[in-house]
Amino acid sequence: MKILYIDMDNVLVDFNSGIGKLSEELLIRYKDHYDDAPGVFELMDPMPGALDAFHLLAQHFDTFILSTAPWHNPSAWSDKPQWVQRYLGKAANRRLILTHRKDLNRGDYLVDDQHKWGAVHFIGEWIQFGSPEFPDWETVTAYLLPRA
C-alpha cells in the first residue's frame, strides 16, 4: 500500500479559524506570531472537505498526518494530537508525526501547502494544497485515488 502524508495547518485544519477564537489579550500579545499563542491549535476548525477526504484516502493509502509544531509553543505539541483525536478519531489513531524535517520521512505522496520544513525536498511527490492545480480537497482526492 502506498504511503500518504497529509499536513495539518491550512490543509486539514483552518489555521485562521483558531486565530478568530483567541481572546483579545492573546490577539494583542501574539499579534505577529499567532502560532505561539497557547491553545490556538486546539481551537481550529477543519478545512472544508478535509475530514471526508482523510477518511476516504485512508481506505486506499497508508495515511499519516505529518505536521510541524511551533518550537516555542509547548501547548501546540498537545493541542495537535487532541485535534486529531477529536476530528479524525480511530482512522488517525497513532498516525500523527510532528517534525521540523518532513523530508526525512519516506513515502509516496505529501499533501502540504508550504514548501517549508523540507516539504519541497520530500522524496516522493509533493502535492501543494491550495495551489492552482490543487486548490481544494476535491482536486486532491480526484488526483490521488487513481494512483492508490
Angle between helices 76-88 and 50-58 (to 10 degrees): 80
Q: Name the phi and psi angles at 99, rounded to 5.
A: -155, 155
110 neighbors 118 (Cβ within 8 angstroms): no
Q: What is the DSSP letter of 47?
A: P
Q: Which of 7, 79, 108, 112 is catalytic?
A: 7
- Asked about 7 being catalytic, the answer comes back as yes
Q: Which of 9, 79, 108, 113 is catalytic?
A: 9
Neighbouring residues of 104: CB distance < 8 A, sequence distance ≥ 6? 118
Q: Name the phi and psi angles at 30, rounded to 5.
A: -110, 30
Give the active site residues: 7, 9
